Chains A and B, each alone.
Chain A
Amino acid sequence: MSADGVAGCGLRLRTGLAKAVLSEVARLLERLSDAGETGAVDLHSLPMTDGDRAELEERLGRGEIEATLSVAGVSRVWETRYAGVWWVRHFGSDERIAAEEIAITHVPQILVAHPADIRAAASALRDDLATQPPQGASEESRHVGP
């Protein structure tokens, strides 16, 4: 298993699958650019060897954004060095990969806050403000002025 919990078959063999996935990503990226249509390649269902996976990661590289999410376990999302091509890796139990895809999109859906969560957050914040003791303000005022 690799450091990032990738449980492969232990084979370094490169079967050519990485190249096939890259061609598919290139086709989807053109479609995003030309028609604004998003797409994805599900990596988990492909019989990739560890060698294939390493080759794919190497070829796509890392871009400007990396995010770690704590949501029902850990997820890691990063933009590859190709803008609009994201690697989304979801971990399940024991930090093993439960789902993994290359998302071809402006922003992966999992990073976007859902309206229902925003609604709940707005009301929670309002409640917090209403119930918070005025202690914070007095502490701050002690530091203001000479």
Chain B
Amino acid sequence: MSDRETLGAALARCGISRRALLKYSSYLATLMALPPAASSAMAEALAKARRQSVIWLSFQECTGCTESLTRSFSPTLEDLIFNLISLDYHHTLMAVSGAAAEAARLEAMKENAGKYLVVVDGSVPLGDDGAYSTIAGITNRQMLTETVEHALAVISVGTCAAFGGLPHADPNPTGAVPVSAIVTGKPVINISGCPPLPEAMAGTVSYILSFGKLPELDHLHRPKAFFGDSIHDRCYRRPFYERGMFAKSFDDDGARNGWCLYELGCKGPVTYNSCATLKWNGGTSFPIQSGHGCLGCSEPGFWDKGGFYRPLAAGTGSPGVAVGAAAIGGVAVGAASAALHRRRLHDQGGEKPK
């Protein structure tokens, strides 16, 4: 596929009809909670667009983010994203290596100056002059600074790139920082999650390609389309929460019958992500549906918040969020922590209290 021809022409050459593009746009509109009518406009815009150059940098990470994006797609609808982008550099996925790989990165930067997207997974270690992670003889910090210079925008995928993630967890031996601590003067979009939802990654890139602008972001620079609601807001166990019906242990009758997992440590009320609606593995399930509370992996510092199996009412370890333990037992507890979290977000200029 030549990078000069429009996507519409390129797809037609591959036997992909406009109907397929419309179906893909309907899928994206659904993912991003855009009005259903937006799908026709998106399909038309995508047909006129050129392939988007993407340079993907992997720093202090576990490759889970790449796994998430590539393993979840089989060659059907969701796969179309790979026809829309030109993945010009990606350590794990590219065929070439060594000097040839670095030459491809520099070439893409030169050819698409001002237009390419930089996707980063992994945090950036600054301790000991960045010695904990180097690629092609330079530190992650050097590579990031050099690569983003002429980028259109930077997308931090995964909680490590977005907020520091596991490498940043106490005592942070490598001095890990998120991408936003280094990149200034460029838009940075955070798509957090450990790993992030593949739909959030593909949807954000496709949105930029169709509308030529960044999607609306929340106070943590996450696309509101995917991070606008809490897990709790969209959880199918919510009716039980409202009635104060809580599972008391994993796999008890309550847990099996859909009762709320709040008392088993669910962090759904303070976690913003789309797992409850998009689900995982092609829409099969998500942790709460499998009987396990939400860990809160898309939130900053989730690893250091006082234990995955402690109820929110026992405090998350972050200042100002602890709810008195005396309040434990019943609907009021959950309502209190959800309401407190909303107020905290509001105070930070985030979501308005409901």
Instruction: Write the residues of chain A forming the contact surface with B, with a CB cutoff of 8 angstroms.
Output: 7, 9-11, 13, 15, 38-42, 44-47, 49, 69, 71-73, 75, 88, 90-94, 96-101, 103, 109-110, 113-114, 116-117, 120
Instruction: Write the residues of chain B forming the contact surface with A, with a CB cutoff of 8 angstroms.
Output: 8, 12, 16-20, 22-24, 26-27, 29-30, 33, 35-37, 39-40, 47, 72-74, 76-80, 234-236, 238-239, 258, 276-277, 279, 282-285, 289
Cβ-neighbour of A42 out of B8, B33, B77, B289 (below 8 A)? B33
Assembly CA distance A104 to B19 (angstroms): 19
A116 touches B236 (CB 8 A): no
Identify 8 residue pairs between A and B in the complex whose beta-carbon atoms are under 8 Å apart, listed by A's number: A7-B285, A9-B236, A11-B258, A13-B258, A90-B27, A92-B78, A110-B19, A110-B22
Cβ-neighbour of A9 out of B36, B74, B258 (below 8 A)? B258
B282 touches A96 (CB 8 A): yes
Assembly CA distance A49 to B258 (angstroms): 11
B284 touches A110 (CB 8 A): no
Assembly CA distance A93 to B26 (angstroms): 15
Across the interface, which residues of A come within 8 angstroms of B47, CB to CB? 116
Across the interface, which residues of B come within 8 angstroms of A90, CB to CB? 23, 26-27, 77
B283 touches A7 (CB 8 A): yes
Q: Whole-angstrom distance from the CB of B43 to the nearest CB of chain A?
A: 8
A114 touches B33 (CB 8 A): no
Closest to B289 in A: A9
Assembly CA distance A69 to B37 (angstroms): 20
What are the 3 closest A-B residue pairs judged by CB atoms, nearest first? Answer: A40-B36, A114-B18, A93-B74
Across the interface, which residues of B come within 8 angstroms of A15, CB to CB? 239
Q: Whole-angstrom distance from the CB of A17 to the nearest CB of chain B?
A: 10
Assembly CA distance A20 to B282 (angstroms): 27
Across the interface, which residues of A come within 8 angstroms of B239, CB to CB? 13, 15
Closest to A102 in B: B36
Across the interface, which residues of B come within 8 angstroms of A88, CB to CB? 26
A73 touches B22 (CB 8 A): no
B33 touches A96 (CB 8 A): no
Chain B interface SS verdict (over half): helix
Assembly CA distance A97 to B282 (angstroms): 8
B36 touches A117 (CB 8 A): no
Cβ-neighbour of A47 out of B8, B27, B276 (below 8 A)? B276
Asked whether A98 and B283 contact (CB < 8 A) given A13-B258, A72-B77, A90-B23, the answer is yes
14 further interface pairs, Cβ-Cβ under 8 Å (given A96-B282, A116-B12): A9-B236, A42-B29, A44-B277, A45-B33, A72-B77, A92-B283, A93-B73, A93-B78, A98-B27, A109-B40, A110-B19, A114-B18, A116-B8, A120-B12
Asked whether A38 and B17 contact (CB < 8 A) given A92-B282, A110-B23, the answer is no
Q: Whole-angstrom distance from the CB of B240 to the nearest CB of chain A?
A: 9
Q: Whole-angstrom distance from the CB of A63 to the nearest CB of chain B?
A: 20
Q: Whole-angstrom distance from the CB of B135 to the nearest CB of chain A?
A: 32
Closest to B238 in A: A47
Q: Whole-angstrom distance from the CB of A92 to the nearest CB of chain B?
A: 4
B234 touches A47 (CB 8 A): yes
A71 touches B36 (CB 8 A): no
Cβ-neighbour of B283 out of A73, A97, A113 (below 8 A)? A97
Closest to B286 in A: A9
Cβ-neighbour of B22 out of A7, A40, A98, A109 (below 8 A)? A109
B282 touches A94 (CB 8 A): yes
A103 touches B36 (CB 8 A): yes
Assembly CA distance A93 to B82 (angstroms): 15
Across the interface, which residues of A come within 8 angstroms of B40, CB to CB? 109
B26 touches A99 (CB 8 A): yes
A101 touches B77 (CB 8 A): no
Cβ-neighbour of A71 out of B19, B79, B277 (below 8 A)? B19
B236 touches A49 (CB 8 A): yes
Across the interface, which residues of A come within 8 angstroms of B289, CB to CB? 9-10
Across the interface, which residues of B come within 8 angstroms of A94, CB to CB? 74, 282
Asked whether A45 and B30 contact (CB < 8 A) given A9-B258, A103-B36, A114-B19, the answer is yes
Q: Whole-angstrom distance from the CB of B290 to the nearest CB of chain A?
A: 11
Asked whether A93 and B235 contact (CB < 8 A) given A38-B37, A42-B33, A44-B30, the answer is no
B78 touches A98 (CB 8 A): yes
Cβ-neighbour of B36 out of A42, A96, A113, A116 (below 8 A)? A42
B18 touches A72 (CB 8 A): no
Cβ-neighbour of B76 out of A44, A72, A97 (below 8 A)? A72
Q: Whole-angstrom distance from the CB of A46 to the nearest CB of chain B?
A: 8
